[in-house]
Structure 1
Amino acid sequence: MAQKQLDEFPSEIKEQLLDGAQQIFVAAFNSASDNGMDEASATRVAWNTIEQNYDKGPDGKWHRKPDDTNQRFKSVQSGGN
């Protein structure tokens, strides 16, 4: 399947996603398509990718989740030798 550009997606996608999320959606969709997925499956992959880093706000738009620094930097203690 040929690579899709943002303007080829339905307007609801462009209206709900902010610029950075739009680019992530398109990249995820195209990657899934390149791996042989049909359009419906590639769309599901793209939305799942968005849901990992964005939350849908009360305004109906997807907003980036706040960084959780506690998740990235966990302390590890070693028992020694």
Structure 2
Amino acid sequence: MPYDRLSDLPDNVRDHVPKHAQEIYKEAFNSAWDQYKDPDDRRGDASREETAHRVAWAAVKDKYAKGDDGDWHAK
């Protein structure tokens, strides 16, 4: 289920991640959703959605870090 708008993102992303990082998350998730549709392309028995979320978080972590306040901040 790719995301069309930032407002469609999961609550934990919308509530704790800056807008730019939300955009990164959305684009990475949607790309991974397409890229990993074949189960043979995924690690272990991870679902397509789980894989896409992992890829999206990895993309966010490239430019952002989670602070002590629970929110994400630019590195």
TM-score, normalization: structure 2?
A: 0.76
The corresponding residue for 1:39 is 49
Give 4+ residue runs of structure 1 displaced > 3 Å after superposition: none
More helix by share: 2
Q: Which consecutive unaligned segments of at least 5 residues does structure 2 have?
A: 38-47
The corresponding residue for 1:78 is none
Q: Which consecutive unaligned segments of at least 5 residues does structure 1 have?
A: 66-81
TM-score, normalization: structure 1?
A: 0.71
Q: How does 1:33-72 map to 2 (within 5 A)?
A: 33-37=33-37, 38-65=48-75
Q: Which has the higher contact order (CA 8 A, sep 6+)?
A: 2
How many percent identity over aligned positions? 41
The alignment's C-alpha RMSD in Å is 1.4
Number of residue-to-residue matches in the alignment: 64
Higher CA-based Rg:
1
